Amino acid sequence: MAKRILTALIGAAVMGIGTQAASATTLGDVKAKGFLQCGVNTGLTGFASPDASGNWSGFDVDYCKAIAAAIFGDATKVKYTPTSAKDRFPALQSGEVDVLARNTTWTINRDTALGFNFRAVNYYDGQGFMVRKSLNVKSALELSGAAVCVQTGTTTELNLADYFKANNLQYNPVVFEKLEEVNAAYDAGRCDVYTTDQSGLYSLRLTLAAPDDHIILPEIISKEPLGLAVRQGDDQWFDIVSWVHYALVGAEDFGITQANVEEMKKSTNPDIQRFLGVEADTKIGTDLGLENDWAVKIIKAVGNYGEVFDRNIGAGSPLKIERGLNALWSKGGIQYAPPVR
């Protein structure tokens, strides 16, 4: 009898601990402290970089602002934690950051063993190579024997090894932990080749002493679906972060912009009414734990997906990266938002 009682008490205690853990939500924690803690890159032009006054901007930064806008109605309620490729995952696992918005590839290992959740891909990318024009190299298949600068602790390092092995090419990896170290080594001529996500190459080329002396080779050697990551175990937070992206894409699909969002609230299109939270019976916001005009707040803060893309890395930016796969599904790309209903 005593053993049964002890077993029951232990079971009740375990259930109590589980209940406490389940009741502690990331949304609640973020609201309680009054800001979102967002993990970003240490400095990648177009994606996340601070100016001389410490003000952050970029494609990934706008996602942090969009999440804050959805929660608080104020895109400034964000604090940024710069993370290297090595320390980004411990920062998320430990709770140092609430979300990781840092050009991070969705892989099975990160989705399972590391305990993270990915869903929405906000940038479809692939690994490429940058070389000096003076090498007269036109293809990555001509790189046998080259010294290649690469950042350690990344899928980039693994993809590099796979590509050279598969093509029976020799190479000398020149490895650094910090992005700034990789950049400096390549710019100083310590390696012949720089490899990372192609979007990163466009960004990094702008920082070199003579950007026009370098070309990006045509080969894409991997699939790099980049997206925001959160810790497993909090479905509500996972949904909020995912649907912030879908709201940005959906707004572009509907033709809703930062400039016309108030006017679009008068639309008679039921899909737009529901999306903007003006339909009388809508619960799309409250079901997420947000206000029903959460999408309006996001669009007012940063615009739609196309505006975020063009302003930071696309046609309206120094990078001038083409939309490619990141165009809407209706315009030849694969960016697609589920229905809001």
Domain ranges of the chain: 126-223
Contacts of 48 (CB under 8 A, 6+ apart): 40, 41, 56, 57, 58, 59, 60, 61, 80, 82, 101, 102
Question: Is the distance from CB of 241 to CB of 30 less than 8 angstroms?
Answer: no
CATH class of 126-223: alpha beta
Give helix 26-33 / helix 235-254 axis angle, nearest 10°. 80
pLDDT in tens, the chain (341 residues): 444 433 333 343 333 333 333 336 999 999 999 999 999 999 999 999 999 999 999 999 999 999 999 999 999 999 999 999 889 999 999 999 999 999 999 999 999 999 999 999 999 999 999 999 999 999 999 999 999 999 998 889 999 999 999 999 999 999 998 888 999 999 999 999 999 999 999 999 999 999 999 999 999 999 999 999 999 999 999 999 999 999 999 999 999 999 999 999 999 999 999 999 998 777 889 999 999 999 999 999 999 999 999 999 999 999 999 999 999 999 999 999 999 98
CA gap 287, 240 in Å, rounded: 10
In 3-state terms, what secondary structure has residue 102? coil
| pLDDT at position 45 | 92
| pLDDT at position 283 | 82
| pLDDT at position 296 | 98
Q: What are phi and psi of 75, to 5 degrees?
A: -75, -10
Contacts of 237 (CB under 8 A, 6+ apart): 25, 26, 27, 98, 230
CA gap 83, 61 in Å, rounded: 13
pTM score, whole prediction: 0.86
Which residues of 152-192 form beta strands (DSSP E)? 171-176
| pLDDT at position 6 | 38
